[in-house]
Amino acid sequence: MIKLVTSTFALKGEIWLFLDETLISTGSSAKELDLSEGEYYLLHWVIKGTPGSAYSISVSSPREAQYLLTSVIGDAGKEFGGFRFST
């Protein structure tokens, strides 16, 4: 098994983090999940909060999925994003 290690933070908002169609994290948190080798995954998120407030999403493991995003919530008060990776 391969470990997926994620961390999320929202100063004035909520983050919903999904792996494929499964909700794996809400709010500011750190999570570890087991992944199967030789699979494709989609990591994606939705953020709602106060415009101008900071949020971050990081993936430190596995190496194929390493990612760091630090940004601010736009005028609409909603953001989304994601990426695909394989193990």
Please state the domain extents for the chain: 2-86
Determine contact, residues 57/30, Cβ cutoff 8 Å: no
pLDDT, residue 77, reads 98
Report in angstroms the alpha-carbon separations of 6 from 20, 23, 70, 75: 14, 13, 14, 26
Q: How far apart are CA 81 and CA 34, in angstroms?
A: 22
Query: What is the reported pTM?
Result: 0.93
pLDDT, residue 1, reads 87
Per-residue pLDDT tens digits for 2-53: 999 999 999 999 999 999 999 999 999 999 999 999 999 999 999 999 999 9
Mean pLDDT, range 57-72, rounded to an integer: 97
pLDDT, residue 28, reads 94
End-to-end Cα spacing for the chain:
10
State residue 65 phi and psi, 5-degree precision.
Answer: -115, 10
